[in-house]
Chain A
Amino acid sequence: MSSVELRKVDKHYVGYHALQVIDLKIEKGEFVVMVGPSGCGKSTLLRTIAGIETISSGQILINGRDVTREEPGDRGIAMVFQSYALYPHMTVAENMGFGLRMANRPKAEIDAAVRRAAQILRLEEQLTKRPKQLSGGQRQRVAIGRAITRSPEVFLFDEPLSNLDAALRTQMRVELSSLHAQLGSTMIYVTHDQVEAMTMADRIVVLNKGRIEQVGSPLELYANPANIFVAGFLGAPRMNFIEATVAAVDASGVSVMAAGLPTLTFGGVEASGLSAGDAVTVGIRPENLRVVDKTGADMPAFPGQVRLVEQLGRETILYLDASPLQATNSDSGTGNFTLQLNKVSTLRTGAVLEVGFEIGEAYLFGPDGRTLTPRKGIA
């Protein structure tokens, strides 16, 4: 029995299809992160699981029970809001105990639950304060504490860290992960931050335009994105894409031509439906590019001029002008290529260098955006 199951969940607004036939099973104790760009429907999906928003059709099951028509308070869920949504007129303790109070639990039980949650979240000193007197990080903890005291079957998080500064965000990320390990509850977490998704999730659900693009473990999604959207969305810096055309399809594989590159042959490709002249896309992650010798290059290579160097200490990110290559990269814009070196580099802006990559580390995406290259082992 799954902890949360969505069956053909669909939501229409007037003139807008927010969620399009979402099917998803989330197992007990799983930490599932939903990611996607703004407007992809991830928050809407979370709010429908909470019951704050209704769905147009489909079914939502929590612990095997159909809760589609139930009020949020009856679903056995707790939610942490992006704005924290703490009751401003109540103390921290009253905020955390409010759910149990509404469930008419005895006062001693409420006090014990609040104390336990406060201990986990190191809020014992703050219990008599009001939300206004707390820092952003403390308010965040109170919001989580309010969820914990209800001891729900499922925790729902709606971009809980996006109002915190970078340092606090990293700290809370670690704390949430250890909280999950400690409580063992099912957690569903919505974010637009792919670092949060990659670091916290057991499984990632990538959403785009109200549809699920792919579901899988972080490394699985990173190594084997199902399509060009997932490939471009996960990974920082983002994957480079080169526009190309199919030259030939034969037994040895698919040959692809791109301006500024030698002909590339991808072996073992699912080539069904592909024919010469089709527009395809080649994808290469920045860390799979390397600077090569001009002379003895035994791999596909192309020249590029350094536009910008970012030194990150252990790593260096180079932004290259690689024309006449038809390259796009959502980090650095059209005509640019991003290259990540795992060392300090002495290269300066304006330097011209030769860049190469292993064909086995490149991806090929079909005209419909589907990934055509065979599954790669998870590193």
Chain B
Amino acid sequence: MSRFWRRNRHWLTPVLFLLPGLILFGSVILAASVETIWISLHAWDGIGQKTWVGLANYLELADDPQFYVSLKNNVIWLLIFMLAPPVGLALALIVNQQIRGMRILKSLFFIPLVLATVTVGVVFGWVYDPNFGLLQLFFGVFGSTAPALLSDENFVTFAVAAAGLWPQIAFCMVLFLAGLNNLNDDLIAAGRVDGARGWRMLRHVVLPQLSQVGFIAIAVTVIGALRSFDMVAVMTNGGPYGSSTVLAYQMYEESIFSYRFGYGAAIATVLFVIMIAFIAWYLHGLVKAERSNA
């Protein structure tokens, strides 16, 4: 036994360490994805027999107006979420100043990160409430009434995405704060000796050092926007009349409420393909950054 171990441990040790992760990844991610794609080629109510239908689910999807609403809403989420990295960076730069009381301000900005997304959804639901909400209070000051954002199909997705943006900004701020902590002091000093200050110090010396953190912030934000689900479920259930659904929510609704697991799986597969494109871009960037650091 021990001789076998000694002769083979150069490859056995890494394999043993990798095994738990590989098993977990293989069963939860890989097998589940493959099965989802398999299911998407069937008609299935979730309990009974699966019936092979080939690409029928996808063909139906291509003609489903609800699918295009979801896709459009995902794009809206994506555009609104793109505010998170720059706003997070700006906040990080502000709370990173050595001013008295900044620590309290910093911890206040952290709050949305510790809140469960459901809580954020519920709280924003109240804020938007036209009867007693914060928004109504604000509009009341000017003697007008707040629009009922969550029941207006033109505003509802913007309102929900704005609620989701709040914790995303806090997340980006934390990323950039960590990046600011890792700035090279000598480079800043060299910049000062070279006469760079204010905006030009930020632009030419500080921001280039944050480029990797910025890349991670953007990638994580893109993925966060694409997989948005919980906020929609808590605040609107996709309503009114399905006008605020996103792909992830539509998949959930088709599968769980309409017992159309095959159709839901087809939506999931489409979302999966969109995600893969972004993840490939993300990994490509990461590998490139690591190579240039080596």
Cβ-defined partner of A71 (8 Å) among B184, B187, B197, B292? B197
Q: Does A99 contact B (CB under 8 A)?
A: yes
Whether B195 and A103, one on each chain, are in contact in the complex, defined by CB atoms closer than 8 angstroms, is: yes
Counting CB contacts under 8 A, is A85 at the interface?
Answer: yes
CA distance A89 to B212 in the complex (A): 12
Instruction: Say yes or no: B194 contacts A99, CB within 8 Å.
Output: yes
Contact: A87 with B292, CB < 8 Å? no
B197 A73 Cβ-Cβ under 8 A:
yes
CB distance from B263 to the nearest CB of A (A): 49
- With A71-B197, A98-B204 in contact, is A85–B192 under 8 Å at CB? no
Is A148 on the interface with B (CB-CB < 8 A)?
A: no
CA distance A103 to B196 in the complex (A): 8
Question: 1/0 per position for B181-195, CB-CB distance to A under 8 A?
Answer: 000101101111111
- Interface digits, A44-83 against B, CB 8 Å rule (1 contact, 0 not)? 0001001110000000000000000001111001110111
Q: Is the C-beta of B267 less than 8 angstroms from some C-beta in chain A?
A: no
* Contact partners of A51 in chain B: CB under 8 A: 192-193
Query: In the complex, A103→B194 CA distance in Å?
Result: 8
B194 touching A85 by the CB < 8 A rule?
no
A132 — which chain B residues lie within 8 A by C-beta?
292
Contact A71 B200 (CB under 8 A): no
In the bound complex, do residue A98 and residue B193 qualify as a contact, i.e. CB atoms below 8 Å apart?
no
When the two chains form their complex, are residues B195 and A73 in contact, meaning their CB atoms are under 8 A apart? yes
Check: A312 CB closer than 8 A to any chain B CB: no
Chain A residues bordering chain B, tally (CB within 8 A): 26
Establish whether residues B200 and A102, one from each chain, have CB atoms under 8 Å apart when the complex forms: yes
Cα of A146 to Cα of B186 in the assembled complex, Å: 14
Q: Which of B162-215 contact A (CB under 8 A)?
A: 184, 186-187, 189-197, 200, 204-205, 208, 211
Contacts of B197 in A (CB 8 A): 71, 73
* Interface range, B side: 10 to 19
Partner of B186, one of A73, A77, A81: A81
B208: nearest chain-A partner, CB-CB: A89
Given A87-B208, A89-B208, A132-B292, CB of A73 within 8 Å of CB of B190 = no
Report whether B196 and A79 are in contact in the complex, using a CB–CB cutoff of 8 Å: no
Chain B residues with CB below 8 A from A150, complex form = 194
Given A81-B186, A83-B186, A85-B187, do A72 and B192 touch, yes or no (CB 8 Å)? yes
Question: In the bound complex, how far is the Cα of B270 from the Cα of A252, in angstroms?
Answer: 104
Across the interface, name the chain A residue whose C-beta is closest to B194. A99
- Point out the residue from A73, A83, A87 that lies within 8 Å of B192, measured CB to CB: A73
Q: Which of B189, B193, B196, B204 has the most CB of A within 10 A?
A: B193
Q: Shortest Cβ distance from B78 into chain A, in angstroms?
A: 28
Chain B residue numbers with a CB within 8 Å of A89 are 208, 211
The 10 lowest CB-CB distance pairs between A and B, nearest first, are: A73-B195, A85-B186, A99-B194, A85-B190, A102-B195, A89-B208, A72-B192, A72-B193, A52-B189, A79-B193
**Residues of B at under 8 Å CB distance from A?**
184, 186-187, 189-197, 200, 204-205, 208, 211, 292
30 A-B residue contacts at CB 8 Å?
A: A47-B189, A50-B189, A50-B193, A51-B192, A52-B193, A71-B195, A71-B197, A72-B195, A73-B195, A73-B197, A74-B195, A77-B193, A79-B189, A79-B190, A79-B193, A81-B189, A81-B190, A82-B186, A85-B187, A87-B187, A87-B191, A87-B204, A87-B208, A89-B208, A98-B204, A99-B193, A99-B195, A102-B196, A102-B200, A150-B194
